[in-house]
Amino acid sequence: MAFRFDLQAVDGRARYGKISTLHGEFETPIFMPVGTRATIKGVTSQHLRDMKAKIILGNTYHLTLRPGDELIRDVGGLHRFMDWQQPILTDSGGFQIFSLGHLRRLTDEGAVFKSHLDGTLLELTPEKAVKIQENLGSDIAMVLDECPSANSTDEEIQIAVNRTILWAKRSLQSQRSGTQSLFAIVQGGMNLKYRQFCAEELVKLDFPGYALGGFSVGESPEQMHALLPECASMLPELKPRYLMGVGRPIDLLEAVDAGIDMFDCVMPTRNGRNGMAFTNRGIVRLRNSMHQREMLAIQSDCSCYCCQTTSRAYIHHLLHCDEMLGGILVSLHNLHFYLELMQECREAIREQRFQQFRQQCLAQWALAV
The per-residue pLDDT for 1 is 59
Residues 281 and 355 reside in one and the same domain: yes
User: Of these residues, 69, 91, 257, 261, which one is catalytic?
Assistant: 91
Q: Which of 265, 285, 309 is the last residue of a domain?
A: 265
Q: What is the full per-residue pLDDT of the chain (369 aa) written as tens digits?
A: 589 999 999 999 999 999 999 999 999 999 999 999 999 999 999 999 999 999 999 999 999 999 999 999 999 999 999 999 999 999 998 888 777 777 789 999 998 988 878 888 889 999 999 999 999 999 999 999 999 988 899 999 999 999 999 999 999 999 999 999 999 999 999 999 999 999 999 999 999 999 999 998 989 999 999 999 999 999 999 999 999 999 899 999 999 999 999 999 999 999 999 999 999 999 999 999 999 999 999 999 999 999 999 999 999 999 999 999 999 999 999 999 999 999 999 999 999 999 999 999 999 998 754
User: Of these residues, 69, 139, 261, 264, which one is catalytic?
Assistant: 264
What's the structural domain count of the chain? 2
The per-residue pLDDT for 122 is 86
DSSP 290: G
| CA 264 distance to own-chain centroid | 2
Q: Does residue 251 carry a catalytic annotation?
A: no
Query: Which string of DSSP letters, residue by residue, matches 70-115?
Result: HHHHHTT-HHHHTT--S-EEEE-SHHHHHHTGGGEEE-SS-EEEE-
Residues 67 and 87 reside in one and the same domain: yes
Residues 217 and 330 reside in one and the same domain: no
- Of all helices (H) and strands (E), which one includes residue 272? helix 267-273
**323 phi, psi to nearest 5 deg:** -85, 130
Residues 231 and 340 reside in one and the same domain: no
- Please tell me the pTM assigned to this model: 0.96
Residues 323 and 237 reside in one and the same domain: no
Residues 113 and 144 reside in one and the same domain: yes
The per-residue pLDDT for 171 is 98
Residues 330 and 226 reside in one and the same domain: no
Taking the C-alpha atoms of 193, 197, 198 and 199 in order, what is their torsion angle to the nearest 10 degrees?
Answer: 100
Q: Which of 265, 299, 331 is the last residue of a domain?
A: 265
Residues 91 and 102 reside in one and the same domain: yes
Q: Which residues, including other chains, have CB under 8 Å from residue 145's CB and lie 6 or more apart? A: 92, 94, 97, 163, 164, 167, 168, 185, 187, 213
Residue 249, CA atoms < 13 Å, CB-side half-sphere:
28
**111 phi, psi to nearest 5 deg:** -120, 140
Residues 156 and 241 reside in one and the same domain: yes
Burial of 87 (0-12, 13-18, 19+ CB in 10 A): buried
The per-residue pLDDT for 150 is 84
Residues 135 and 243 reside in one and the same domain: yes
Q: Does residue 91 carry a catalytic annotation?
A: yes
Residues 242 and 196 reside in one and the same domain: yes
Q: Nearest Cα to 185, choosing from 294, 265, 95, 106?
A: 95
Task: Give me the CATH number covering residue 108.
Answer: 3.20.20.105
The per-residue pLDDT for 368 is 52
Domain of residue 341: give its range.
Answer: 267-369
Rounded CA-CA distance 187/212 in Å is 7
> How many angstroms separate the Cα of 286 from the Cα of each of 91, 158, 228, 256, 313?
32, 44, 32, 29, 8
Rounded CA-CA distance 253/346 in Å is 11
**89 phi, psi to nearest 5 deg:** -110, 135
Residues 271 and 229 reside in one and the same domain: no
Residue 31, CA atoms < 13 Å, CB-side half-sphere:
30
**201 phi, psi to nearest 5 deg:** -70, -40
Q: Nearest Cα to 278, choosing from 308, 257, 302, 305?
A: 302
Q: Which of 265, 280, 299 is the last residue of a domain?
A: 265
